[in-house]
Amino acid sequence: MASENATVDDRDELFFENETRKHQQAVGQLMTEFAMSVLCRAVSHDRSKLQAPEREIFMEATPKLAGLTYGSKEYGETLKEMQVALDHHYANNEHHPECHKDGIDSMSLIDVVEMYFDWLAAIQRHADGDFEKSMEHNQGRFGMSEQLSNIFYNTARSMLVIK
């Protein structure tokens, strides 16, 4: 009787092991496909800025923006001057909430990942760039949920962007 139980236990263990390995491979495959999509986005990020009508307007505005505080009145006024370029940019870049009917709520996870890293890189372009102030501004500007904001903060801490 003991050997019969051992056989059942062995089959259960083999089944468990086989199912777990298949699950690991499926997750690995899906994560690899996601990572490849993110890599493609990294290579093509903001490509539209290098073409008309964005190029000329951004060439003039980028030095101005670098010296302004993100979200300030002056920053907003400069954005208004860039409206033609911004409209084109937002319409052609899915990582911007403005590209989507329902803003962030309509974005894919790949869009959100690119947006997050775009925001981190944008903070570095400003002499007084501040992650927490930028996040607070963007949370209000885009109606970002508290949960997503927390995920962004947790990611910044895990990447040592903030303490």
- Evaluate if residue 112 carries a pLDDT over 80: yes
Percentage of the chain beyond pLDDT 90 is 82
| pLDDT tens per residue across span 6-34 | 676 889 999 999 999 999 999 999 999 99
- Evaluate if residue 56 carries a pLDDT over 60: yes
Mean of pLDDT values over 99-124: 96
Name every residue whose Cβ is closer than 8 Å to that of residue 128 and which is 6 or more positions away in sequence: 69
| pLDDT tens per residue across span 77-91 | 999 999 999 999 999
Whole-structure pTM value: 0.87
Amino acid at 98: E
| pLDDT tens per residue across span 58-76 | 999 999 998 888 889 999 9
For 76-109, letters b (16+ CB in 10 Å) and e give eebeeebeebbebbbeebbbbbebbeeebeebee
Instruction: Give the number of residues written for the chain.
Output: 163
CA distance 19 to 109: 27
Question: What contacts 24+ positions apart, CB below 8 Å, involve 72-75?
Answer: none
Instruction: Look at residues 107, 153, 128 and name the one whose alpha carbon lies nearest to residue 98.
Output: 107
